[in-house]
Amino acid sequence: MEKSYDEIEALWEGLLSRQEELIHQAFNRLDPQEQRAVLDHLNRMVSEPGWHPEQVASARAALDALKDKN
């Protein structure tokens, strides 16, 4: 399903919110293929150089909240 810009923005706002409930709500709206892509992206955010430290911290919080899915 194609998502609008606003839907994508809201998705990432939830995923990077550092609030476990919001992270799960955003992630659970995705199909399995989209979930895999999000997990891959979050893992790149915490392992590749060039991301702002706050982005890395938010991605780490999301991965921690989703550890059973990762």
> CA-CA distance, 1 to 30, in Å (whole number)?
10
**Tokens linked to 32:** 């399995």
> CA-CA distance, 40 to 52, in Å (whole number)?
18
Q: Is residue 42 part of a domain?
A: yes
Q: Is residue 33 part of a domain?
A: yes
Q: What is the pLDDT of residues 1-54, one digit of tens each?
A: 577 989 999 999 999 999 999 999 999 999 999 999 999 999 999 999 999 999
Work out how many domains the chain is built from and give that number: 1
**Tokens linked to 41:** 């992206």
Q: Is residue 58 part of a domain?
A: yes
pTM: 0.89
Domain carrying residue 21? 5-65
Q: Is residue 70 part of a domain?
A: no
